Structure 1
Amino acid sequence: MKNKNLHESGRYLYAITDVTEHPVCGDIGINGAAVYTVSQGPVAAVVSDITEKRIRPERKNLVAHHTVVKRMMEEATVLPVAFGAIADSPKAVREILKENRDVFVDQLDRVHGKVEMGLRVVWDVPNIFEYFVNHHPELAVLRDEVMGNQRGPSQADKLELGRLFDRLLAQDRERHTEVVVEVLTPHCADIKRNQPREEREVMHLACLVGRGAQKGFEDGVFAAANLFDSHFAFDFNGPWAPHHFVHVALEV
């Protein structure tokens, strides 16, 4: 069997950028491959050569993918491409850029000079249900009624208690999120509210922030945190590429 040579390799895509003449970024790509750009008009794709037709989402590959995106975003505006996109050839990459040119240009303009910052707020309590019982009298009353039943709580009683807890949880999340968003809005070009990933999570925000406004954003987070008591923990992170504010759907 003949080994595939360079001409038979595909191009792994990491990101789309408006820097069309960028030097090779070094051998930091998947499988240690050199990273460079393939340009078409006002946009370019950040790529590396790859012989595989598909790439497994193993830790080393994911790390390489995100390392390239992070390195590029330090010097340019980027639209991160979802992990695993492989084009057959440089020509195929240029076709992708040509077909999606207007969409890419619009999105690059939208996030130009900006980065994504994340903010996660959680209830820092040992038992979230007991915390809500202590802060919502109606939940405490229903809990006592359900648990005080001498025959034991019925399935219907448990469901009613659970529905009330879920409703109060959603209401408190919304109310707390509105407070934080109001404080952060002056420091952000856009804010996206993501679905909480666990019961204790109050909010999970993605914030689009100007590169020169990161200090103001951090100050805003501290100002918002001061409006809450010790039962809330604030954690912000970034800067990242603007994953939550762009959509790069490629057919490769």
Structure 2
Amino acid sequence: MPVYVYSVVATTHPQRLDGLPGVGDPPATLRTVRGGKLSAVVSDAPEDLRPKRRDLAAHQDVQERLMADGPVLPLQFGFTTTDDDAVRAVLEERADALSERLRAVEGCTEYHLKAAQDEDSLLRQVLEESGEARALNEQIRSGANNPELPLALGELVAQEVQIRQDRLAASVVEALRPFAREESTSQAAGNDFLSVSFLVARDNEEGFRTSVRKLAAELGDDFDLRLRGPLPAYSFV
């Protein structure tokens, strides 16, 4: 029967699962599959599983309960495989790599940071700092009858925006790196120029959060820094 996999822990982990419901309606019963020195927390996989609030919460509750007692490798919501034997085979075949990841996340939580800049503010910055962009903009505003000018300005502004956002993203990550064991950058979406996760030891959490607040104050009101955490270390499995 297909199984839903929540997370991987060491077999020495207490694995206190009593009273926790699994995903599905009615909720599936949690159990563990052991493979050598590792165990996976699983349940029967419900049919047509969707990311509903109750199921997302059940998945998250399992991670948080396990995290309270030791290091956990949390899988993303919705991970299923064929049966218990398939789970056991992965635990045994990838024992060294998974054990190394457990050691890496021990005593840590994940924080995810996204950052965006007000578009009007960014455009003003480009026009103030780029003489070429300013000249093109002035030609367009003066009524120059050249249909290629707006395209040229658009391309130039896009390049200048990318340069500035890449530089700013790098500086933000550099400022927070001393507080993290690891970092994992993902593709920013929408108006965001930064989407990055940090693996932060619990002893460094307060310093990390304080540094994010200081960065937000230094950048000013034209910037929007959004921090989520502490979270299970999904980005570092």
Same-fold call, TM cutoff 0.5: yes
Selected match of 1:211 from 192, 197, 202: 202
Q: Deviations over 1:206-238 (max 9, x none)?
A: 111002211010111123223323212222110
Question: Which among 25, 29, 37 is matched to residue 22 of structure 2?
Answer: 29
Q: From the superposition, tell whether residues 21 and 133 of structure 1 become closer, same or farther in structure 2 (CA, over 3 Å).
A: same
| Paired position in structure 1 for 2:137 | 143
Q: What residue in structure 2 maps to residue 42 of structure 1? A: 37
Report the equivalent of 1:5.
Answer: none
Which of residues 155, 175, 185 in structure 1 aligns to 2:177?
185
Indicate yes or no: 2:225 matched with 1:231.
no
Q: Is the 8 A contact 1:25 1:36 kept in 2?
A: no
Closer/same/farther in 2, CA of residues 67 and 140 from structure 1, 3 Å limit? farther
Cα deviation digits, residues 37-65 of structure 1 (max 9, x gap): 2222221111123354x634445433433
Structure 1 partner of 2:96: 102
Asked whether the 8 Å contact 2:13–2:70 carries over to 1, the reply is: no
Point out where structure 1 has 5 or more consecutive residues left out of the alignment: 1-8, 247-252
1:61 matched to 2:52: no
Q: Aligned partners of 1:123 and 1:182: how far apart in 2?
A: 18
Letter in structure 2 aligned against 1:28: P
Counterparts in 2 of 1:29 and 1:167: CA distance versus 1, 3 Å = same
Listed one character per residue, the Cα deviations across residues 60-101 of structure 1 (whole Å, up to 9, x for unaligned) are 433433332333333332222233333343333222211221
Query: What residue is the counterpart of 1:6 in the other structure?
Result: none
Quote how far apart the aligned CAs of 1:114 are: 1.2
Paired amino acid for 2:188: P
Amino acid at match of 2:132: E
Deviation at 1:140, TM superposition (A): 2.8
Show the counterpart of 2:111.
117
Number of equivalenced pairs: 234
1:125 deviates by 5.4
Give the C-alpha shift of residue 159 in structure 1: 2.9
Whether the 8 Å CA contact 1:125–1:131 is kept in 2: the answer is no
Distance 1:56 1:227, change over 3 A: closer
CA contact (8 A) 2:71 2:102 kept: yes
Cα distance, 1:162–1:45 mapped onto 2, change above 3 Å: same
| Alignment RMSD (CA, Å) | 2.6
Counterpart CA distance in 2 for 1:88 and 1:194 is: 29
Q: Could you report, residue by residue, the CA deviation over 1:122-172 in whole angstroms, capped at 9, with x for unpaired residues?
A: 214557545543554432322222343443x52x43332222112111111
Q: 1:168 aligns with which of 160, 171, 175?
A: 160
Identity among equivalent positions (%) equals 28
- More divergent stretch after superposition (235-244 vs 141-150): 141-150
8 Å contact kept, 1:35–1:47? yes
Query: Do the aligned partners of residues 222 and 14 (structure 1) sit closer, same or farther apart at CA in structure 2, a change above 3 Å counting?
Result: same
Amino acid at match of 1:232: F
Q: Any stretches of 5+ residues in structure 2 without a counterpart?
A: none
